[in-house]
Amino acid sequence: MKMTAAVMYEQGLPTPYAESGPFRIEEVDLEGPGEGEVLVEVRGAGLCHSDLSQVAGIRKRTLPVVGGHEGAGIVREVGKGVTQVKEGDHVVMTVVAGCGCCRPCIESRPVLCNGITASRAQGLLANGMRRISRNGEPIYHYSGVSSFAQYAITLPGSLIKVDPAVPLDVAAMFGCAVVTGAGSVFNAAQVRPGQNVAVFGLGGVGLNAVMAARISGASEIIGIDINESKFSLARELGCTHTLSATSADLVTQVKDLTNGGVDFAFEVSGSKAAMQSAVALTRKGGQVVCVGLGAFGDMYQYDHASLVADEKVFRGSFMGSCVPERDLPRYLKFFQDGKMPVDKLKSGTMCFDQLNHNLDLLDRGEVVRQVLLP
Ligand code: APR
Ligand code: ZN
Ligand code: ZN
């Protein structure tokens, strides 16, 4: 079938993206669904900071590629052998589709699945197939999702059913922003009632960490950003304090508020400076959870003796260390019960032609989540 999609041919184009145009809006061919595959009509696709990183070329991708890794839609056709979803189901699309049989998958850590890591790098679906082309030339999939398109061919493992009562432009944000931010708190840190947290970066992902910390019963939830326009929404969603990342006495302020430092600091901006502050304002025995994708090659130093004496823990958390089929229904229930007002993260909607301009808005920190309605 023919469909409209946002295709990226080159990484590392200069800003402003509204002028250099990293995404070209084109008619492409979509084949399938083949055996074990699902055709989804995309009804919402969120624009995430990782899309900016992809456009900037922080990690090389197989090109050309249809962008988008956060989305939701309606199942329109299922291939032979698919039993998990059926035509008409509303679904959230996620990049975490573990094979189910490698060692990380068996240990309930599908974000580390050996198989999806390899297929993601090659721009293929996890079954090794590629279903997009243009004039007979190959176009690749982005993380098995490619939601910046009218339709997507995905594998059932990438799809989580969602109650049709949840608007699909809101459901879209569950695929990355919600699962990544909330999962860093619930799965990676496992924050307990009364503990203190700091969240660096109050974007779509960081604000989900804030909401999850509130649900966990954290006592002080300190939101930190370089952009103070993010503070009012952050307070509405659960921050007890908001502080500027550029303030000279940031570490002292946080230590004063938390009797010596936070139990958990979440780095959700991908910034090296934020990571260094996060380490400094975490109390002895506390944990630094690194969620934002930094630039490849960024390195950190830490004093060996202090590591021993202070017992700080450093850990990464990718995609909220999630098990999608376990976690997404829980988060969707939180949303439906009013505990996680994810709809407030949606700054607006856009059509294909506004995608490049919206990269600029996100880059300048002027929006939280813009959702593409293909
Ligand atoms: N300290 C604190 N906040 C910072 C800093 C810093 N040094 N640098 C940037 N920020 C803030 C920005 O002002 C913005 O509010 O981090 C926030 C990032 O938000 P978004 O651009 O909306 O990014 P988001 O989609 O939430 O993703 C955050 O998670 O998935 C990863 O790759 C993604 O690294 C990205 C991170
Ligand atoms: Zn696996
Ligand atoms: Zn993302």
Across 192-332, the runs of DSSP E, i.e. the strands, are 197-200, 221-225, 241-244, 262-267, 282-290, 313-316
Spell out the domains of the chain, with CATH numbers in brackets.
2-175+341-372 (3.90.180.10), 181-317 (3.40.50.720)
Gap from CA of 304 to ligand 2 centroid (Å): 34
Gap from CA of 226 to ligand 1 centroid (Å): 9
Which residues line the pocket of ligand 1, CB cutoff 6 A? 48-50, 53, 180, 200-206, 224-227, 230, 245, 268-271, 273-274, 291-293, 362, 365, 368
Ligand number nearest CA of 145 is: 3
Average pLDDT, the chain: 96
Gap from CA of 46 to ligand 3 centroid (Å): 8
For ligand 1, atom 35, the nearest C-alpha belongs to: 292
Rounded Cα distance, 224 and 235, in Å: 11
At 7, the pLDDT band (50, 70, 90 cuts) reads very high
- Model pLDDT, residue 294: 85
The type of residue at 369 is R
Cα distances (Å, whole numbers) of residue 187 to 20, 41, 80, 194, 316: 39, 31, 35, 17, 11
Tell whether the model's pLDDT for residue 116 goes beyond 90: no
Ligand number nearest CA of 49 is: 1
Residue whose C-alpha is closest to residue 199's, from 230, 161, 174? 230
Question: Which tokens go with 177?
Answer: 């922003």
Atom of ligand 1 nearest to the CA of 201: 16
At 120, the pLDDT band (50, 70, 90 cuts) reads confident
Atom of ligand 1 nearest to the CA of 230: 15
For ligand 1, atom 9, the nearest C-alpha belongs to: 269
CB-CB contact of 86 with 75 (8 Å): yes
Rounded Cα distance, 177 and 172, in Å: 9
Mean pLDDT confidence for 198-218: 98
Rounded Cα distance, 14 and 278, in Å: 30
The label of the residue with tokens 């909220």 reads: 320
Mean pLDDT confidence for 236-248: 98
**What dihedral angle (degrees, nearest 10) is formed by the CA atoms of 159, 165, 169, 170?**
-90
For ligand 1, atom 36, the nearest C-alpha belongs to: 292
pLDDT tens profile 96-105: 988 889 999 9
pLDDT tens profile 361-370: 999 999 999 9
pLDDT tens profile 341-368: 999 999 999 999 999 999 999 999 999 9
For ligand 1, atom 17, the nearest C-alpha belongs to: 201
Using a 10 angstrom Cβ sphere, with 0-12 exposed, 13-18 middle and 19 or more buried, the burial of residue 87 is: exposed
**What dihedral angle (degrees, nearest 10) is formed by the CA atoms of 206, 210, 216, 218?**
120
pLDDT tens profile 127-173: 999 999 999 999 999 999 999 999 999 999 999 999 999 999 999 99
Gap from CA of 103 to ligand 2 centroid (Å): 7
CB-CB contact of 65 with 8 (8 Å): yes
Rounded Cα distance, 290 and 35, in Å: 38
Mean pLDDT confidence for 216-229: 98
What are the residues whose beta carbons fall under 8 Å from the beta carbon of 1, sequence distance 6 or more?
A: 29, 30, 151
The label of the residue with tokens 């940031």 reads: 250
* Ligand 1 site-directed mutation target among 143, 199, 208, 225, most atoms within 8 Å of CB: 225
For ligand 1, atom 2, the nearest C-alpha belongs to: 225
Rounded Cα distance, 286 and 224, in Å: 18
For ligand 1, atom 29, the nearest C-alpha belongs to: 292
Atom of ligand 1 nearest to the CA of 273: 7
- The DSSP secondary structure of 13-77, one letter per residue, reads PPSPHHHH-SEEEEEEEE----TT-EEEEEEEEE--HHHHHHHHTSS---SSEE--S-EEEEEEE
Tell whether the model's pLDDT for residue 82 goes beyond 90: yes
Residue % of the chain over a pLDDT of 90? 93
Rounded Cα distance, 278 and 199, in Å: 9
- The ipTM is 0.98
